[in-house]
Amino acid sequence: ILPFFIFGGLYQNEASTPYYFYPIKYLSWFRYGFGSLIINEFEDLQLGCDNSSTTRCVFTNGNEVLDYYNIDTGDIWFPNLVAVLIMGTGYLTISVFILWLRVRQTDKGAEEKKTA
């Protein structure tokens, strides 16, 4: 899970990911969830920067934040939402299949004990 988390977009900027880590990047469910979250929160957001304060404003609006993370605002539905739905359905299907195999295996063991 840790490689998926690292290459999900929060810690490792998508533009700076080496090409040999692309499979991990594209299989990371964190990437798609983070992408949807950051687009939802920062798209067209105006950040209030008080010029009189001593702190320096790095970003003046949300679109600059999205540019910094190299995220396209058009990705909120495809691939982000579609990938999360497909991965969720796939993992659920695999889990149910594995559970079915284990129950079937347990039932066979119980039947063999009854006949013996």
What global pTM score does this model have? 0.79
**26 membership: H or E segment, kind and range:** helix 22-27
Give yes or no for a contact between 66 and 39, defined as CB atoms under 8 angstroms apart: yes
Task: Write out pLDDT tens, residues 12-29.
Answer: 888 888 999 999 999 999
CB 49: neighbour CB atoms within 10 A? Answer: 13
Nearest CA among 90, 71, 114, 72 for reference residue 29: 90
pLDDT of residue 48: 80
**Strand partners for 46:** 61
